[in-house]
Structure 1
Amino acid sequence: MDFLFVSLSFLSLLLVYCWYYFCYAPYRVLKRLGITHPPVRPFMGNALQVLKLGRIGLVSKLISESNNKVSGFYVGAMPHIVVADLDLIKEITVKQFDKFNNNMRQTSLGIEIRKNINMGSGLLFAFGEEWKRIRQIVTPTFSTKKLKLMMPLVERKCDTLNIILEEKCAKGDSFDIHHFYTQFTLETLLAVAFGSEVNLLKGEGSLLTEAVAGLFDNLSESILTWEALFHSQLPSLLTFVSKIGARFLPLSRHLKYLNDALIEIIKSRRGQNDDEKSKDFLQLLMDTSTTDDDENKTNSGPKKMALTDQQIVGLCLDFMVAGQETIAGALAFTTYILSLNPDEQEQLCEAIDKYYQENEDASLYDASQNIPYLDWVIQEALRMYPPAYLTSRQCNKTCTINGITFPKGSLVIFPIQYLHYSPDNWDEPEVFNPNRFSPEGKEGRNPLSHIPFGWGPRSCIGMRFALMEAKACLVSILRKYRFERSPDTQIPLMKKQGLTQSPKDGIFLRIIKA
C-alpha cells in the first residue's frame, strides 16, 4: 500500500510538473511583461491562429483589436513580439542592433541538408561576428561599379523577354505576366550569379533550372509555422525528422546538385587570367580576398581568402533564393498596378520617352538610375505590395527599450505590410500615388514607414541589384508596349504568403503596342 501511495504521489507530482512546465509557465512571459496577446492553447500557443489567418493576418488583427503598437503571440512556447512603433523599430534595428543582430533561425531541415552536403550558411543565416565579417566582405560586391559590370547580363535577358512579349502582343490574348517574370528573373539570376546561360523564356530547361525551381516548391508559411512549433516544443523530435528528411526529400537532391555544380565551376575558374574571367556575382566573390588580421599581413606571401568555397556557394544560393521571388514579385505587382492605373502608366512612359529623347544612346543602366518618376512608381508599388509582408529579429540579450522589455530568445516582428497601409503613416493608403515618393511627397514623413527591404545593418544587401534589374526591365518593355487589364484580370488580387508574397492565381493581362 505504501509503495502504491508513493507511486501515485510521484506520478501526480510529475503530471503537475509537466502541466506547469508545458502548459502554464511558458505562457506567462508576455503577460508578465505587460504585452497583450490572444488566449493560448497549451503546447500550441497561438499556432492554430497563425495557420488559419497567416502571420500577417494575425498580426494585423492584434494591432487593430488591441489598439496598441506593441503586442504579441506564441508559436509553441516561443514569444513573438509585434512592434509597429516606428521609433521602437529604429531603436531595435539601428541604435541597439547589437542585441537584435540575428534573423529568424534557419529551418532544421535546411541546417541538416547544408551539413550533409558541406554547404556554407551564406549571409541570411549567419550569426554574430561571422555575419558581420561576411557582410563586410560581400557589401562591396553591390557597389555601383560592380553592378555596372553585371548589367550586360541583365540587358541580354531583357532583350529575350521583349521577344516573347512581342509574340504575346501579336496574339492579343491575356497571359500570366507573373509566370514570365519568374522565368526572366530565374534566367537573369543564373547568369548573374554564376554565368550560366539558360533559355527558360524560350521553353528550354536544364537540370540546373529544375534544381533552382525545386527550391521554391517547399517554402510555404504553414510549413514554417509547424517547424517553429516543433522547434519550440519538441526540438529533439524535429532534429530526428529533419535528419531523415535531409536524406530523402527532393529539396536535398536539388541543393546537392546546385552545391556540386557551383563547386565545379569554382574549381574550373581557379587560375584563369583576367581576360578569361566572367563578370558575374560568383567571380566577384572569388576575387574578394583580404587579410583577416595583422598576422596574415606579409609583403611576399599570398593574401588569405576571406571566403571559403563553401561560403561562396552559400552566398550564391542566398542571392538566388532572396532575389528570384523578390524581383519577379516586384515586377509583376508593379505591372499589375500600372495596368489598373493607365494615366500613371502613360505618365511613366512619357518620362521614359523624354529621357531617351535627351539621351539617345543611354544604356538601360543609366536610364534605370536617372528617371525619377520610374523610381517613384517602383517605390509606391513596393509600398502596396512589399516583397516580404513582415520581417523579424531574434533578441540575443534581455533588454528594455522605451519601456518595453524584450526577453532573450524572443522573436521580434516588424509588420511591414501593416506599416505600409497604416493611416498614421499614409493618406489614402489604398490609392496608387507615385507622387508620395517625390521630394515634396517624402518631406516630413518618417522613413521607417516604408521599409520594403527591411531597415538597418541587416536590411537586404541585394536591394540595389533588385531595384536595378526591375527598373531596367520595365524601361525596356515600356519603350515599346503598354499593359492593360483583361476580363481575366483578378480584382482585387489574391496573394499567397511564404518567405515572400506572390499572386495566388497569377496576374493575367494584355499587352499592346505603344
Structure 2
Amino acid sequence: MFVLTVLLATLLAFVSFLYYLLHQRMNYWRYRGIPHDPPHFLAGNLKGLLKTRSFAEILLEIYQHHRGTGPFCGYYLFQRPAVLVLDRALIKNILIKDFHNFADRGLFHNERDDPLTGHLFRLDGSKWRGLRSKLTPTFSTGKMKFMFPTILKVADQLMNAVEKRLAVDACVWDWKDMMACFTTDVIGNCAFGIECNSLQDPNAEFRVMGRKIIGSRRHGALINAFINSFPNLARRLRMAIMPQDITDFFLRVVRQNVEYRERNCVHANDFMSILMDLNKGKHLKSENDQLRALSVSEMTAQAFVFFVAGFETSATTMAFALYELALQQDIQNRLRLEIEETIKQHNDDFTYECMEDMQYMKQVLAETQRKYPIAPNLMRQAANDYMVPGHPKYTIKKGMMVTIPTIGIHYDPDIYPEPDKFDPTRFTPNVVKQRESVDWLPFGDGPRNCIGTRFGMMQMRCGLVYLLRQYKFTTCEKTQIPIVYQKTFPLFPQGGIYLKVERV
C-alpha cells in the first residue's frame, strides 16, 4: 500500500510539474505584455487546422487582427510560442539585413531515419550553406537556356493531350490536374532525365506518387503537432514524417538512375548530373570543405524537394492564372495579343529570349502569385536574442520560431488596394520600383530565397504561352466562384479548377 501511495504521489507530482511547464509556456506572451490571441491549451492558435481552417486563413486572421499594434505579435505554433511579424521593416531585417541571425528555418529534419527530410529547404547551419553554394549553378541562366527545349518538348505533349480530350468533346475538365501532369513531366525530364508520361497516362507512377506526397501523412494530427512543436526532441526519438512508400520510391528511382548513367557513361547538364558530381566529391575544394561528398540518400533528398517544389506549386499557380483569365476575358485577350506580337518580333520563333521579353506575362503571373501564394508564410528561427530596433519591449529570444505571413502582406490594403481584385497592373516595372522587395514574397527574399525561382517561372510561362496561343478559357457550371480552398498548409483549391476550353 505504501509503495502504491508513493507511486501515485510521484505520478501526480510529475503530471503537476508537466502542467506547470505547459501553463508557463502557453502564457509566454501574456507575461511579456505582447499582443496575442488567447491560445488553445493543446492546439495553440492553430485550433481547427486541417479540419475547419487552413494555415493561410489562420495567418491572415491573426495578421489582420494585430496589424499596426507593433513590429510583431505573439502566437502559439501548437505548444510553441512563436513570433508573427507585422512590420515590413522588420521583415526586411530578418530576411536581408540581419540574415545572419535568422538564416535557419528550424523545421524538423532527420537525415538518419527520415532521409527525404535532409534537403535544402529543411536543413540549417553549415549543411544548408554548403549545399546551397553547390546547387546554385543548377539554376543559372545558362542552365535554364539548356533546359528550355526540354520544356518545349513537354509543352508539345501538353498540346497533344488537350487535343485528344477535345476530340471526344470533353471541353470541361480540371485544369489543376492537367497542369500537374504537365509539370510532373517537365520535372521528370529536367531533374531525373526520365519520361514520366503523366500527360498520356494520369495514373503513371510519378503522377501517382505526386498525389501521395500532397495527400498522404505518416501520422495523425497529434503526432504531427508534437514533431512540429519539439523538432529536436522528435529527432532524438528517431521519429519520421515521410510515408515509407514515398521514401522507398525516390530512393529506388535515384539509385537506378545513378547506376544506369554510370554504366552507360551518361552525363547531361541536368540536376541529377550535378548531384552525381557531388556524390563523387568533384565540387569539394579541400578536405576541410564544409560539404563532404553526398551520399545517395542525400542526393535523393535534393531530387525529392526539386520534384515536390517544382511540380505542385507551379501547376497550381498556372491553374489559378487560367482561372483568373477565364473570369476576365479582357486580360486574357491582352495577354494572348502580347504573346503573338512578341513571337512575331522574334521571327515567329518562341525562344528563351522571346519568353523573357513578354512583360505582361510576367505581370499576370506575379499578380497570380500575389493573390494566391501557394506557400502562405516563410519560417525562420532566431540564432541569438534579437531586440527589434526602436522597440526595446519586443525581443525575439534565441531559438524562437519567426513567421512571416506572406498572405497577410499580399492582402494588406495599404500595400495592395482592393487586394481581392486581380489586377496585373500592380506589377508594371514603374509600380514595382515604388514598393519594397518584401512586399511580394512567393519566392521569399534575401540569401535564403527560393533557389528554383528561374526554373519555376520558366515552366509556367512556357505552359501558358502554348495554351493561350491555341485555346480560349472560359468559366462553366462546374467552375467554383469564388474559389474554395482545401484546409491544408499550401493554398490549394478544393475540388480542382474546372474551366471550359475551346480552340481560338
TM-score (ref. length: structure 2) = 0.88
Question: Any conservation in 2 of the 1:339–1:345 contact (CA below 8 Å)?
Answer: yes
Aligned with residue 200 of structure 2, among 180, 199, 202? 202
1:137 Cα offset (Å)? 0.6
Superposed CA deviations along residues 257-295 of structure 1, whole A, max 9, x for unmatched, are 22122122113323755xx43343212333466554555
Question: Any conservation in 1 of the 2:39–2:76 contact (CA below 8 Å)?
Answer: yes
Question: Which residue in 2 is equivalent to 1:192?
Answer: 190
SS at 1:53 equivalent: coil
> What letter is aligned with 2:179?
Y
**For the residues of structure 1 that align with 2:296 and 2:343, how far apart are their CA atoms?**
43
Question: Which residue in 1 is equivalent to 2:209?
Answer: 211
1:368 Cα offset (Å)? 2.0
Unaligned stretches of 5+ residues in structure 2: none
Q: Kindly indicate whether residue 314 of structure 2 is the aligned counterpart of residue 327 of structure 1.
A: yes
1:238 Cα offset (Å)? 9.2
Aligned with residue 387 of structure 2, among 376, 396, 400? 400
> What letter is aligned with 1:87?
A
Q: Per the alignment, do residues 164 and 291 of structure 1 end up closer, same or farther by CA in structure 2, a change over 3 Å counting?
A: closer
Question: Which residue in 1 is equivalent to 2:44?
Answer: 45
Question: Which residue in 2 is equivalent to 1:337?
Answer: 324
> What letter is aligned with 2:255?
I
1:513 Cα offset (Å)? 1.7
Superposed CA deviations along residues 384-425 of structure 1, whole A, max 9, x for unmatched, are 111211121122322212222112222111111111111110
Aligned with residue 139 of structure 1, among 123, 126, 136? 136
> What letter is aligned with 2:129?
K
Superposed CA deviations along residues 59-80 of structure 1, whole A, max 9, x for unmatched, are 2222333343521221343112
Question: Any conservation in 2 of the 1:120–1:311 contact (CA below 8 Å)?
Answer: no
Question: Any conservation in 1 of the 2:261–2:267 contact (CA below 8 Å)?
Answer: yes
> What letter is aligned with 2:354?
A
Q: Per the alignment, do residues 62 and 261 of structure 1 end up closer, same or farther by CA in structure 2, a change over 3 Å counting?
A: closer
Q: Kindly indicate whether residue 256 of structure 2 is the aligned counterpart of residue 264 of structure 1.
A: yes
1:89 Cα offset (Å)? 0.6
Q: 5 Å matches for 1:44-83?
A: 44-50=43-49, 52-67=52-67, 68=69, 70-83=72-85
**For the residues of structure 2 that align with 1:131 and 1:7, how far apart are their CA atoms?**
47
Question: Which residue in 2 is equivalent to 1:154?
Answer: 151
Question: Which residue in 2 is equivalent to 1:453?
Answer: 443
Q: Kindly indicate whether residue 353 of structure 2 is the aligned counterpart of residue 369 of structure 1.
A: no
**More displaced 10-residue stretch of structure 1: 374-383 or 146-155:** 146-155
**For the residues of structure 2 that align with 1:3 and 1:317, how far apart are their CA atoms?**
54
Q: Per the alignment, do residues 382 and 234 of structure 1 end up closer, same or farther by CA in structure 2, a change over 3 Å counting?
A: closer
**For the residues of structure 1 that align with 2:15 and 2:288, how far apart are their CA atoms?**
59
Superposed CA deviations along residues 12-43 of structure 1, whole A, max 9, x for unmatched, are 75554333222x21123223443222223434
SS at 1:431 equivalent: coil
Question: Any conservation in 1 of the 2:134–2:283 contact (CA below 8 Å)?
Answer: no
CA RMSD of aligned residues (A): 3.2
SS at 2:480 equivalent: coil
Q: Kindly indicate whether residue 311 of structure 2 is the aligned counterpart of residue 313 of structure 1.
A: no
Q: Per the alignment, do residues 116 and 12 of structure 1 end up closer, same or farther by CA in structure 2, a change over 3 Å counting?
A: closer
SS at 1:36 equivalent: coil
SS at 1:73 equivalent: strand
TM-score (ref. length: structure 1) = 0.87
**More displaced 10-residue stretch of structure 1: 91-100 or 203-212:** 203-212
SS at 1:363 equivalent: coil
> What letter is aligned with 2:216?
N
Q: Per the alignment, do residues 364 and 503 of structure 1 end up closer, same or farther by CA in structure 2, a change over 3 Å counting?
A: farther
1:172 Cα offset (Å)? 5.9
SS at 2:500 equivalent: strand
**For the residues of structure 1 that align with 2:123 and 2:273, how far apart are their CA atoms?**
21
> What letter is aligned with 1:426?
Y
SS at 1:486 equivalent: coil
**For the residues of structure 2 that align with 1:158 and 1:437, how far apart are their CA atoms?**
26
SS at 2:119 equivalent: coil
1:224 Cα offset (Å)? 6.7
**For the residues of structure 2 that align with 1:410 and 1:155, how far apart are their CA atoms?**
45
Aligned with residue 174 of structure 1, among 167, 172, 178? 172
Where is the helix percentage greater, Structure 1 or Structure 2? 1
> What letter is aligned with 1:347?
R
Aligned with residue 91 of structure 1, among 93, 99, 103? 93
**For the residues of structure 2 that align with 1:285 and 1:141, how far apart are their CA atoms?**
10
**For the residues of structure 2 that align with 1:389 and 1:410, how far apart are their CA atoms?**
19
Question: Any conservation in 2 of the 1:49–1:58 contact (CA below 8 Å)?
Answer: no
Q: Per the alignment, do residues 71 and 358 of structure 1 end up closer, same or farther by CA in structure 2, a change over 3 Å counting?
A: same
1:443 Cα offset (Å)? 3.4
**For the residues of structure 1 that align with 2:24 and 2:465, how far apart are their CA atoms?**
57
Question: Any conservation in 1 of the 2:29–2:35 contact (CA below 8 Å)?
Answer: yes
**For the residues of structure 2 that align with 1:66 and 1:205, how far apart are their CA atoms?**
46
> What letter is aligned with 1:196?
I
Q: Per the alignment, do residues 444 and 207 of structure 1 end up closer, same or farther by CA in structure 2, a change over 3 Å counting?
A: closer
> What letter is aligned with 1:18?
L
**For the residues of structure 1 that align with 2:376 and 2:112, how far apart are their CA atoms?**
30
Question: Any conservation in 1 of the 2:78–2:229 contact (CA below 8 Å)?
Answer: yes
1:486 Cα offset (Å)? 1.3
Q: Percent identity?
A: 27
Q: Kindly indicate whether residue 29 of structure 2 is the aligned counterpart of residue 30 of structure 1.
A: yes
Q: Per the alignment, do residues 308 and 10 of structure 1 end up closer, same or farther by CA in structure 2, a change over 3 Å counting?
A: closer
**More displaced 10-residue stretch of structure 1: 319-328 or 360-369:** 360-369
Q: Per the alignment, do residues 352 and 163 of structure 1 end up closer, same or farther by CA in structure 2, a change over 3 Å counting?
A: same
**For the residues of structure 1 that align with 2:327 and 2:165, how far apart are their CA atoms?**
19
Question: Any conservation in 2 of the 1:380–1:432 contact (CA below 8 Å)?
Answer: yes
Q: Kindly indicate whether residue 433 of structure 2 is the aligned counterpart of residue 443 of structure 1.
A: yes
**More displaced 10-residue stretch of structure 1: 406-415 or 360-369:** 360-369
Question: Which residue in 2 is equivalent to 1:301?
Answer: none
Q: Per the alignment, do residues 11 and 280 of structure 1 end up closer, same or farther by CA in structure 2, a change over 3 Å counting?
A: closer
1:457 Cα offset (Å)? 1.4
Aligned with residue 105 of structure 2, among 84, 103, 106? 103
**For the residues of structure 1 that align with 2:424 and 2:498, how far apart are their CA atoms?**
23
SS at 2:26 equivalent: helix
**For the residues of structure 2 that align with 1:308 and 1:208, how far apart are their CA atoms?**
23
Question: Any conservation in 2 of the 1:104–1:393 contact (CA below 8 Å)?
Answer: yes
1:213 Cα offset (Å)? 3.5
Number of aligned residue pairs: give it: 494
Question: Any conservation in 1 of the 2:116–2:304 contact (CA below 8 Å)?
Answer: no
> What letter is aligned with 2:33?
G
**More displaced 10-residue stretch of structure 1: 448-457 or 54-63:** 54-63
Question: Any conservation in 2 of the 1:330–1:382 contact (CA below 8 Å)?
Answer: yes
Q: Per the alignment, do residues 7 and 360 of structure 1 end up closer, same or farther by CA in structure 2, a change over 3 Å counting?
A: closer
Unaligned stretches of 5+ residues in structure 1: 298-303
**For the residues of structure 2 that align with 1:339 and 1:360, how far apart are their CA atoms?**
29
SS at 1:91 equivalent: helix
**More displaced 10-residue stretch of structure 1: 135-144 or 151-160:** 151-160
